[in-house]
Chain A
Amino acid sequence: MAEEQGTPFAPDRVPVPAALRTGWRIPLLVILVSRCRAGEASWAQLHVLSWALTAGISEAEFQDRLGSGFDPWDEEAIRIDPVVLLSVDRAVGAGLLVRTRSGVSLTSDGEALVDRLKTAGVFRDELQLLNSLGRKILKTDASTALGVSE
C-alpha cells in the first residue's frame, strides 16, 4: 500500500562491529603479516594473532594461552576464525596480499599501506600488543595453539 502511494521505505540499518568491516580487518591483516618473518605469515599465525588482537587481551594472558596448548573443551580457546579467511580473500582481491604455499605474504601495495598506516596514528592498542610480543610467535607455536599441524 505504501509502495502504491509512492512512499519510500528503507530497511533499518544495523550496527556492525568494526571487527567485521574490511576497513578495519584488512589494515590489521597487512600489519600482522608485516610483523611476521620476511613479511610472510602462516595460516596458523594469522588466526592466532588475529584472535589476540580482536580479543583485547594483555600480553601475559596471550602468552599463557599460547603456552597452554589446544583444549577443544575450553570455551575461550584460540580458534580458527572464518572472518580471517574472508578478510584474506578481500585483501588478496585488493592486491595487498598474495597467497603462498602455506599462508600469505605482503605485496608491494601491502607494504606501501603499512608505511602509510605507521604515521596515521591508528591501531594504537593493537600495535602496542604487537610491539610487546615482538617476533616471538613462531609458526610452530601458533600451530600448537590451534591444535593443527603446520
Chain B
Amino acid sequence: MIAAENNSGKSIAMQSILYALGMEAMLGPRHDVPLPDAMTKEIAAEGLTEAVERSEVWLEFEGVDRKPVTVTRWAKHPTIKRRLITAWAGAVLTGDAEPERRDFQVRGQGAFDEVIGFHRFLADLVGWEVPLVQTTKAVERPLYLEYLFSLLFVEQRGGWSGVQALQPNFFVAEARERSAEFLLGIDTYQRQREERQLKSQLSAIGNSWMTVATQLVAAAESRGYRVSGVPSKLDSGITEGHSVQLLSAKDRETLGAEVKDLAERVRVAEARLTAPQPPQRDTEHEEGTLVEEAATVAVLDAATRSLERDVELEAETQRSLGRTLGALRADLRRNADALRVHELGAPEWSSPEQECPTCHQNVTDVILPAGDKPGMSLKDNVAYLNAQIDALSLLEAEAAEAQRHRLLSLDQHRRQLVDARARLRAAKATVLTPEQVPSAAEIQRALIDSQRLRELHELDSTVSSLMRHLVELASEARGIEAALEALPATLASAEEKSKVRELGELVREQLAEYGFTSYEPAEVDVALPLLRPERDGTPVGYGISASDGVRLIWAHLLGFAELARTHSTRHPGIVMFDEPRQQSAKPTSLAAFLERAARAAAFDQQVLVATSEPEESLARQLDGVEHYLVGFAGQLLKPLR
C-alpha cells in the first residue's frame, strides 16, 4: 500500500509503473506521457520552481522465472526519444552489480518487433505467448499488452468508470473479450480462429480442384473426348490409381483403344512406305478408294450440316427459354414488391377482396381478369412462379449440357470432314500419279494418323499430370478434414467452463462482502462470451449506483487473480488499484476489499493499492490484515540530498 495525502505524488508512482512498461496507450488515444508537469515541465520544491530538463522513471520487477529485471525510460530528455526503453537483466535499483543491458523500443507495431520490441520482451518475461487476433480492419495483429493491462491496473481518473474501462485504440475487435479469455487461459477464440483457417484452406483447395478439373475436361474435349470419373467439385476420397475414362464423343471408343489402333496403322504404313522397293500399287483399289472417300465426304458433309442446324435450333430454343425465365423472374420481383407493399399496412386497394368505394360492389385486386377462373393470392402466385422458375432452370441446365455435347460432336464431325476432304484430295492425286510412286492417299493417311497419334499421346500425358495434381489436392484435403474433425465439438472445454463458473462465484462472493446493494449479488453472473459481470445476459453497468460500480471493479479484477490460485490461467499475479475508494464507497466496504486483497500474499501474488485514506481510518481498516505499507509525508518528488 502506498498511503499519502492527496496531490502528494501517489499517482505519479502508480502511473510511472505504466509508463516504464510502455502502457500509456491504454490511457487515451494521444498516448501522452501519463505523468504530471512536475516530471515534464517544471517542478516546485522547497520554495523554488525550476524547469525540468530531464526526467526518467526506473522500475525493478521480477519475471515468471523470479529473476529481477530493471527498466528505465525517459519522460523528458533533449535528445533521447520516448520510444526507447532500456532494460537490465538484474536488480539495478536494489542490487550492486552492473548487469547486461539492452535497448528496446515501444509504441506502435514496433513494440512487438521480434528483436527490439519491448512488449515482445515483456511478454516473454511474463511467460505470455501473445496470440494474433482479428482487428476491425480485417487484418490480424497481436493482442497488444495494453489491452491485457486493463485487467491488471485501474488508473485513478478514467479507470473507475467501468469494468475494463480503459482500452487503447488499436482496432482489435471484441478487445475486452479477447483480453479476458487470454488471461483466464480460455482458448475458444483461438479454436474458432483455427477452425476458420482450416475451412479457408479447404475452400482454397476446392477452388484449385475446380480449376484443374475444368482444365482436364477442356483438354479432353479439345481432342474430341469426354471424361468420366473426374468430379467437378473437391472429392477428398480420390486416391492414387483412381480410374478415369476417356471416351470419344462419337464412337464411344476409349482413348487407349484409339491409340493402340492408330499406333498399329502408323507402324504398318511406315513399314510399307519405307520399304526398299516401292509397294505394289493396286490401281483398281485406288479408284475404289477414290469413290469411297468421295462418298464419305458427302455423308460427313450432310451429317455436319444437319448437326449445325440442330445446334442452331437448340440455341434458339435456349434463347427463348432464357427470355421466358427472364420474364418469370421479373414477374416474381414484381409479385414480391406487391406483397411487400401489402405488408406495409395492408391498404384496402391491395387486398384480394375489396369493395368499390363508388358503387360498393365486390371487386378483387385483379384489374383485368382473364376468364372466369379466380386469380391466385399473391403468396400462392409467388410460390407458383418459384416452382416454374425452378423447373425451367432445370430444363435450361439440361438443355445447356445437351448442347455442349452436341457442340462437341459437331466439332468432331468438322475435324473428320477436314480429314476426309484431305484423304479425297490425296485419293484423286493418287489416281493421277504414275504407278512407280507410293500413293499420295497412303502418305496422307499415314501423316494424318501420325499427327492424331501425337495429339492423343499428349492428351494422355496431360490427363495423367492433371490427375496427379487432383490426387495431391485430395490428399491435402483429407489432412485438413482430419484436423477439423479433431477440433473439440464445443468451443469451450469442461475445464474452461469450470473456470468461468468459478469466476462468477468469486465475483458474487466478493460483491456480498463489499456490500453491493443495487440488487442481489446472486443475480450477477459471469459467462462466455462476454466474461464480464452481467445480469440477465446484459453487462452490469447502467442502473447501479456509482459506489456499486466501484465494488464491481474490485470484485472483477480480484476475481481474475483469485481464480489463478486454483486453476491454470495466464494471470501474472499482480493487480494495481490507484485510489480504490472512489464514489464515497463506505469505509466498511474498503476494509472488506483490503482484507480480501491481502490474501494475495499467501499465494505469492501481489496487490498494489495507492490511497489517500486518512491515517487513522486506514489503521482501523488494516487492523489484522497482512500488508506492507509505504507512507510518506509531503511530496513524493523531492530534491536528492
Q: Which residues of A contact B (CB under 8 A)?
A: 11-27, 56, 82-83, 86-87, 90-91, 93-96, 113, 116-117, 120-123, 125
List the B side residues contacting A21 at CB < 8 Å. 338, 350, 365-367, 378
| Further contacts, 14 of them, CB under 8 A, given A22-B354, A25-B367, A122-B340 | A14-B373, A15-B375, A15-B376, A18-B331, A19-B331, A82-B368, A83-B367, A83-B368, A91-B349, A93-B349, A93-B357, A93-B358, A122-B341, A125-B333
Q: How far is the CB of B357 from chain A (nearest CB, A)?
A: 4
Known: A22-B349, A90-B367, A121-B340. A14 touches B357 (CB 8 A): no
CA distance A83 to B366 in the complex (A): 10
List the A side residues contacting B370 at CB < 8 Å. 14, 16
CA distance A116 to B346 in the complex (A): 13
List the B side residues contacting A83 at CB < 8 Å. 367-368
Contact B367 A86 (CB under 8 A): yes
List the A side residues contacting B598 at CB < 8 Å. none
Majority-rule SS of A interface residues? helix
Contact A13 B374 (CB under 8 A): yes
Contact A93 B356 (CB under 8 A): yes
Known: A24-B337, A83-B367. A17 touches B331 (CB 8 A): yes
* B371 interface neighbour in A14, A18, A122, Cβ under 8 Å: A14
Task: Supply 22 A–B pairs (Cβ within 8 Å), ascending by A.
Answer: A13-B375, A14-B370, A14-B373, A14-B374, A14-B375, A15-B376, A16-B376, A18-B335, A21-B338, A21-B378, A22-B354, A23-B339, A23-B349, A23-B350, A23-B378, A82-B368, A86-B368, A90-B349, A116-B345, A120-B340, A125-B330, A125-B333
List the A side residues contacting B345 at CB < 8 Å. 116
Bitwise interface map of B from 326 to 369 toward A, beta carbon under 8 Å scored 1, else 0: 11001101110111111011011110001011100000011110
Residue B380 lies at the interface, judged by CB distance under 8 Å to chain A: yes
Q: How far is the CB of A78 from chain B (nearest CB, A)?
A: 19
* A15 interface neighbour in B357, B371, B384, Cβ under 8 Å: B384
Residue B321 lies at the interface, judged by CB distance under 8 Å to chain A: no
* B381 interface neighbour in A16, A86, A117, A122, Cβ under 8 Å: A16
Contact B337 A87 (CB under 8 A): no
List the A side residues contacting B342 at CB < 8 Å. 23
CA distance A27 to B342 in the complex (A): 10
List the B side residues contacting A20 at CB < 8 Å. 366-368
Q: Which 5 A-B pairs have the closest CB atoms?
A: A18-B334, A23-B350, A23-B338, A16-B375, A94-B349
Nearest residue, chain B, Cβ from A91? B349
